[in-house]
């Protein structure tokens, strides 16, 4: 278990709550800073700044950590929304700047022109000699300029919206944090995980979780399930892949292992099954 440094006393309580939840999730996953960096696009030094309260992590880092460590993505995103609201002070990671929208072109008035027809008055003014009626500028010209300016403004707004889909106006409304379950059940795209077996205090670990009590069963897809799959295969029961998804093949392998150890073969990995899985064996 990591020994964390004390967070700054000046840290806003909402940001402190987010950082504490991220620390708890990292400890629960058993991943080191280096392992966390290798599974995300954020560096080890970035995670150290985020988890020590020096910089508020960006939303993508929070959601990525939830996926990698098996946390509640929706609940953590809601905590991030609260922590980064306008009323929450504190350092934040830089966000992309939205480009300024170019101003719509302004219509340039034409210089007054003198009529070339005998007896006509100037188009845009001049003394009234009473000889002929004033000839006004056609209304179609003014209307045409206004339509062109409006059309350009709409095109610019559409272009900016397409180029910057992540602008603040596109963000969803903050949602209240939902209660997390004891065992994380967040899902993500399945992938193949390696098995790095180590012994610590006489117990066997495969590099994806250090839990001895959390319960896993069919329907859960988190990295900790890869720990179950690595260990059960090490004991001779093939789950047909190490993908972090607890499906029928994993359940069949777990049930076979449970029967071999005299346990109830319910296919659910709980404290008793973990105790047997962590034994190095022969």
Confidence at residue 180, expressed as pLDDT on a 0 to 100 scale: 40
CATH, domain range 198-277: 1.10.101.10
Q: CB–CB of 114/108 below 8 Å?
A: no
What is the Cα–Cα distance from 43 to 99, expressed in whole angstroms?
28
Please count the other Cβ atoms lying within 10 Å of the Cβ belonging to residue 54: 14
Phi-psi region of 120 (alpha: psi -120 to 50; beta: other; left: phi over 0): beta
What is the Cα–Cα distance from 47 to 38, expressed in whole angstroms?
11
What is the Cα–Cα distance from 28 to 282, expressed in whole angstroms?
29
Ramachandran angles phi, psi of 31, nearest 5° = -85, 145
pLDDT band at 270 (very low <50, low <70, confident <90, very high): very high
Reference 52, options 20, 93, 96; nearest CA is: 20
In this structure, is the dihedral angle defined by the CA atoms of residues 11, 15, 16 and 22, taken in order, positive or negative?
negative
- Predicted confidence (pLDDT) per residue in 186-227, tens digit: 444 457 899 999 999 999 999 999 999 999 999 999 999 999
- Predicted confidence (pLDDT) per residue in 128-165, tens digit: 444 444 554 454 444 555 555 666 665 655 454 444 44
Average pLDDT rounded to a whole number, residues 89-111: 48
User: So what CATH class is 13-83?
Assistant: mainly alpha
Q: How far apart are the first and last CA of the chain?
A: 28
- Predicted confidence (pLDDT) per residue in 101-132, tens digit: 554 445 444 554 544 444 444 444 444 444 44
For the cut 50, the answer to whether the pLDDT of residue 41 exceeds it is yes
For the cut 80, the answer to whether the pLDDT of residue 246 exceeds it is yes
Cα 39 versus chain centre, distance: 15
Average pLDDT rounded to a whole number, residues 84-88: 66
Name the 3-class secondary structure at 92: strand
**Domain residue ranges of the chain, discontinuous segments joined by +:** 13-83, 198-277
Torsion angle (degrees, nearest 10) of CA 228, 234, 240, 243: 40
Please count the other Cβ atoms lying within 10 Å of the Cβ belonging to residue 102: 11
């Amino acid at each position: 278990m990591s020994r964390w440094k004390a967070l700054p006393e000046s840290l806003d309580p909402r940001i402190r709550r987010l950082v504490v939840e991220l620390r708890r999730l990292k400890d629960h996953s058993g991943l080191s800073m280096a392992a966390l960096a290798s599974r995300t696009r954020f560096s080890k030094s970035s995670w150290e700044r985020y988890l020590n309260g020096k910089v508020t992590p960006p939303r993508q880092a929070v959601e990525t950590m939830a996926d990698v460590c098996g946390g509640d993505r929706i609940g953590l995103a809601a905590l991030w929304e609260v922590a980064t609201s306008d009323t929450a002070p504190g350092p934040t990671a830089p966000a992309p700047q939205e480009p300024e929208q170019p101003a719509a072109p302004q219509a340039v008035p034409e210089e007054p022109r003198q009529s070339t027809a005998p007896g006509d008055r100037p188009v845009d003014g001049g003394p009234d000699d009473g000889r002929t009626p004033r000839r006004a500028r056609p209304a179609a010209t003014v209307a045409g300029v206004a339509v062109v300016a409006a059309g350009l403004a709409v095109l610019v707004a559409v272009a900016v919206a397409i180029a910057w889909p992540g602008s603040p106006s596109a963000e969803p409304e903050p949602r209240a944090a939902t209660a997390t379950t004891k065992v994380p059940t967040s899902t993500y795209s399945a992938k193949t995980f390696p098995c790095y077996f180590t012994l610590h205090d006489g117990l066997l670990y495969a590099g994806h979780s250090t839990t001895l009590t959390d319960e896993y069963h069919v329907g859960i897809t988190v990295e900790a399930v890869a720990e179950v799959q690595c260990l059960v295969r090490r004991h001779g029961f093939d789950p047909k892949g190490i993908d972090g998804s607890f499906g029928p093949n994993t359940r069949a392998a777990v049930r076979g292992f449970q029967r071999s150890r005299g346990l109830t073969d319910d296919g659910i990995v709980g404290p008793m099954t973990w105790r047997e899985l962590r034994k190095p064996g022969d």
